[in-house]
A and B are shown apart, each in its own frame.
Chain A
Amino acid sequence: MISQDILVVGGGLAGLAAALSCDPNLKVAVVSKVHPLRSHSVAAQGGINAALGNNPDGRDDSWERHAFDTIKGSDYLADQDIAQLMCQKAVSAIYELEYLGVPFSRFPGGVIAQRPFGGAGFPRTCYAADRTGLVILHTLFEQSIKKQVKFYNEWLVTRLVVKDGKCLGVVVYDLATGQIMPVRARAVIFATGGYGRVYSRTTNAYINHGSGIGIAYKAGVPLRDMEFVQFHPTSLHGKNILITEGARGEGGYLINNKGKRFMEDYAPSAMELAPRDIVARAIQTEIDKGNGFDKQYVHLELSHIGEEKIKKRLPGIREICINFAAIDPVDTPIPIQPAQHYSMGGIDVNEKCASLVEGFFAAGECACVGVHGANRLGGNSLLDTVVFGKISGEEASIYVKGSEGTDSSEKVLLEEALEVKAGIEEWEKRSSGERVHRLLEGLKVVMSEDVGIFRKKEDLTEALEKISELKEDYRRVYLHGKCLRYSQELVNIIEFDSMLDLAEVITLGALKREETRGSHYRLDFKKRNDKDWLKHTLVTCKEGKPQISYAGVNISKYKPEARKY
């Protein structure tokens, strides 16, 4: 049996940062369902926040201001001590990335360039044109080659094995051979990313099914604040490819069909650079009022910032527009609409990225450390991945060195692997039943129509019913293509189980939370209610059913106040 001291699951930014920060004397490996460079981190565009104060308009910036903006942006649901920790570590994190080779864009004088981003009091988003995710992911992958990190690519983790509150390892499906195998590990770090594909319209990659979060949930780890789903204001109409917030940071305007910069009605001082929840709602409101184009989108106007700046600062956006919409933003406005983008919630972990299961850690989008609260600021997710990815690797190393292996783990792992195998054989044996891609289409419709930007009790209740019907249908799912090697159908069947759980947890949290906060907007409860709802939602899987509880928020420094932009 393959056996590791630390097993990192996921080869995106958080996963690579974790693997690189593990104690080099330990036996560490990364398992990823795709080659690490194919991870969704590669698609991040606009940048990464740190209060370097390099921008002439940002000389007075400080990590405290960054922390305040993050907390205010979170609609005060962020844990303030942890948000401060992240922002304090941001500056050294950027210099470390630069040292490792990230080719950041520069200002005259040769310092790292910084652009304005939504919800930020100062221009503090460091960038490499609009390919920040690409260059950071490639740099960390290059470092993994240098450090000879062991990778198991195209292995899908199907189960987290936990016994008596202690993590023993995982069960994987090896796509190349079609085999199911147990992998023993004294510590496991999940860095498995988000679940965007639960929604019809998402900026996320096809692979973002969120099964890591679902697997942790099934293993008994609580999920936190899952009802907070970020919708990005600007995705390319039709394809829903991300059009970076950096486009507005560089001076882009949002224009409705009356030719008006409508953000003045919603956020008169921040305008297009209000936080994402506010801008996304504004755009959807304009479209719903009939002020959009073809009832589906508004315009993101860039032509006034000039050809030179577009080509230099936003070359990737221009390429996307030319490739996928056959327009050139140099002279034509970009048709944009909101789309699901990010999960503020995730696997409940503390500031050490540790969960309540001993030896099980999580970092990046799949985790909820508590820095984003009810709404994440643009440029804070890459920061989250590198800061907490690193912490998770360091903490997992400390844990492994201070713990003892479990003798019985091999037997338990083998048993669980056999269970997974039996499940797959059952799907394979059936010659009729439900097809997974149809079930997935059904789930996407439910989530988009009933658990989207605007929510209300009737819709959410109905969504829960439909999800439980889909759960029934899933019991009859079958594998149509009878070959287990490179079977994306099998990947989808395995991951859909998690997607159903996530949909249920998101919807349940949203139904119970009778207030409006950050990305969670209730048409029937339009006000924030700190008295009753300034608390985290926790959902735990108990005998297959979600059990909801609540936990306090750390409010050590900034008293919640009205959020105006």
Chain B
Amino acid sequence: MEYLFKILRYDPLKDEYPYFQDFSFETNEKKSILEALMDIRNEQDSTLAFRYSCREAICGSCAMVLNGSFDLACRTELQALESSPIVIEPLPNLEIQKDLVVDMEPFWEALSQIKPYLFHGEKIQEGGHRIEEKEMEKIFQYINCIMCGCCYSVCPVVSRDERYLGAAALAKLYRFVKDPRDKRSFSSLSGVNTEGGVWGCDTVFRCNEVCPKEVRPADGIEALRRKLVVEKIKRFFRFRR
């Protein structure tokens, strides 16, 4: 079976504009897009650049745009992409460093801004925290996040407002807010009680659609909004009294 790949190429040090390059790829085996890309690199053009590591959809390296869909190249079967040609592009909303490799720095920077770690107590409790499984289950959805960046790249708000932290970082914050062990104060959430934070979200839920791990990050953003509003009302009445 022969496939036609159209891969976006761009070397910012050499090329004025990004362009599509055609590669013809033949195989009769069942292969993932990642495996096909590696074959193309090995056999046709070894300057073709892309990231990869685990090949089992857990490390988050190989997110890209495949025929217009945001997904991990390792978990997408060649045969599953029905249309020909197969168009491969790097994640948008991030600068291209070379071909399919993008600069993830703004994404990591947004993550570090929400203080993505457990605010724990002073001392290690003997025997650990006692938390029932059903309490922990509330965060399971969010701990599935592999930080692949699909949600960040698909987000229309990220593309127009550079202050916006994006879905992955906000969902990560909610993972900690919801963690029964976390001791962060309500006032520490003021940093996301902004247009660059939870109020920036357009609620078009593109992030929920594209997430390859079914994290549904927008659920976390909406829950944070509710929490901020409810707390504000509570405080208002406490003040009145």
Judge: A and B partners, yes or no: yes
- Interfacial residues, chain A to chain B (CB-CB below 8 A): 34-35, 37-40, 42-43, 94-96, 98-101, 103-113, 128-129, 131, 134-135, 138-139, 142-143, 145-146, 176, 205-207, 238-239, 241-242, 316, 319-320, 323-324, 435, 437, 479-483, 485-489
Could you tell me if B42 and A142 are in contact, using CB atoms closer than 8 angstroms? no
CB-CB under 8 A from B53, the residues of chain A are: 34, 38-40, 205-207
Say if the beta carbon of B68 comes within 8 Å of chain A.
no
User: How many pairs, one residue from A and one from B, have CB atoms within 8 Å of each other in the complex?
Assistant: 159
B residues near A (Cβ < 8 Å) are 11, 13, 30, 41-42, 45-49, 51-61, 75, 97-99, 101, 104, 108, 111-112, 115-118, 120, 124-133, 135-136, 139-140, 143-144, 146-147, 176, 179, 181
Q: What residue of chain A has the Cβ atom nearest to residue B104's Cβ?
A: A35
Given contacts A38-B61, A241-B55, 9 further A-B contacts (CB under 8 A): A34-B51, A35-B104, A42-B54, A106-B133, A110-B129, A111-B127, A142-B118, A479-B46, A480-B46
Q: Shortest CB–CB separation between residue A337 and chain B, in angstroms? A: 16
Contact A110-B132, Cβ < 8 Å, known A96-B124, A480-B46: yes
Q: Are B120 and A99 in contact (CB under 8 A)?
A: yes
Given contacts A145-B116, A437-B42, A482-B47, contact A103 B143 (CB under 8 A): yes
CB neighbours (8 Å) of B128 from chain A are: 94-95, 98-99, 104, 111-112
B140:A129 contact, CB within 8 angstroms:
yes
- A126: nearest chain-B partner, CB-CB: B128
Tell me, in angstroms, the Cα distance from A205 to B115 when the chains sit together.
Answer: 29
A35, A134, A435, A486: residue with the most chain B Cβ atoms closer than 10 Å: A486
Please, could you name 16 A-B residue pairs with CB atoms under 8 Å apart, sorted by A?
A: A34-B51, A35-B104, A96-B124, A101-B117, A101-B179, A106-B133, A109-B130, A110-B133, A138-B143, A139-B117, A146-B117, A176-B97, A205-B53, A239-B55, A320-B56, A486-B98
Q: Which of chain A's residues have a CB closer than 8 A to the CB of B115?
A: 146
Partner of A486, one of B49, B108, B140: B49
Would B181 and A101 count as touching, CB distance under 8 A? yes
Minimum distance in angstroms from A241 CB to a CB of chain B? 5
**How many angstroms between the C-alpha atoms of A206 and B35 in the bound complex?**
11
Known A43-B54, A110-B129, A111-B128; contact A131-B59, beta-carbon cutoff 8 A: no
Q: State the 5 A-B residue pairs at the shortest beta-carbon distance, nearest first.
A: A101-B118, A481-B46, A110-B130, A481-B47, A486-B49
> Within 8 Å CB of A138, what residues of B?
143, 147
A residues within 8 A CB of B46?
479-481, 487-489
The interface centre, meaning the residue of A38, A94, A487, A489 with most chain B CB atoms within 10 A of its CB, is A38
* Chain A residue at minimal CB-CB distance from B56: A241
Q: When the two chains form their complex, are residues B130 and A485 in contact, meaning their CB atoms are under 8 A apart?
A: no
Chain B binding surface SS class: loop
Cβ–Cβ contact A99 & B131, under 8 A: no
Contact status A106-B98, CB under 8 Å: no
The answer to whether B127 touches A38 (Cβ under 8 A) is no
Give chain B residues whose Cβ lies under 8 Å from the Cβ of A100: 117-118, 120
Query: With the chains together, A35 CA to B54 CA distance in Å?
Result: 12
Which one, B42, B108, B131, B139, contacts A435 given CB within 8 A?
B42
Contact A483 B131 (CB under 8 A): no
In angstroms, how far is the closest chain A Cβ from the Cβ of B51? 8
CA distance A106 to B41 in the complex (A): 46
* A483 vs B132: C-alpha distance when bound (angstroms): 54
B124 contacts across to A, CB distance below 8 A: 95-96, 99
**CB atoms of B58 and A105 under 8 A apart:** no
A134 adjacent to B58 (CB under 8 Å): yes
Q: Which residues of chain A are within 8 angstroms of B49 by Cβ–Cβ distance?
A: 485-488
The answer to whether B132 touches A37, judged by C-beta atoms less than 8 angstroms apart, is: no
**Which B residue sits closest to A45, measured CB to CB?**
B58
Report the nearest A residue to B114, measured CB to CB.
Answer: A145
Contact A103 B136, beta carbon cutoff 8 Å:
yes
CB-CB under 8 A from A110, the residues of chain B are 129-133, 135
* Cα(A323)–Cα(B55), bound, Å: 11
**One of A43, A95, A113 near B58 (C-beta < 8 A):** A43
State A118–B168 Cα separation when bound (angstroms). 37
Docked CA distance A323–B71 (Å): 12
For B55, B75, B120, the residue with the greatest tally of chain A CB atoms inside 10 Å of its CB is B55
CB distance from A495 to the nearest CB of B (A): 14
- Contact between chains at A486 and B97 (CB < 8 Å): yes
**Of A38, A99, A105, which contacts B136 at CB under 8 A?**
A105
Residues of chain A contacted by B60 (CB below 8 angstroms): 37-38
- Known A95-B127, A103-B143, A485-B13: A205·B57 in contact at CB below 8 Å: no
Bound complex: CA of A248 vs CA of B56, how far in Å?
A: 20
B143 contacts A323, C-beta separation under 8 Å: no
Q: How far is the CB of A387 from chain B (nearest CB, A)?
A: 16
The residues of B that contact A488 with a CB separation of less than 8 Å are 41, 46, 49
- Which residues of chain A are near B143, meaning CB under 8 Å? 103, 128, 131, 134-135, 138
Cα–Cα, bound, A322→B13 (Å): 41
The reply to whether A142 and B133 contact each other, CB–CB distance below 8 Å, is no
Which of A94, A142, A489 interacts with B117 by CB under 8 Å? A142
A138 to chain B, nearest CB (A): 7
What residues of B have a CB within 8 angstroms of the CB of A139 in the complex? 117-118
Complex contacts, B144 vs chain A, CB 8 Å: 131
With A111-B127, A486-B49 known as contacts, the answer to whether A42 contacts B55 (CB < 8 A) is: no
| Complex: chain B residue closest to A105, CB-CB | B133
Chain B proximity of A112: nearest CB distance (Å):
6
Alpha-carbon distance A320/B56, docked complex (angstroms): 7
User: Which of chain A's residues has its CB closest to B132's CB?
Assistant: A110
Q: Which residue of A lies closest to B46 (CB)?
A: A481
> Contact at B116–A142, with CB atoms within 8 Å?
yes
Give the docked Cα–Cα distance between A437 and B117 (Å): 41
Known: A145-B116, A323-B75, A482-B47. A43 touches B132 (CB 8 A): no
Complex contacts, A112 vs chain B, CB 8 Å: 128
Contact indicator B55/A487 (Cβ below 8 Å) = no
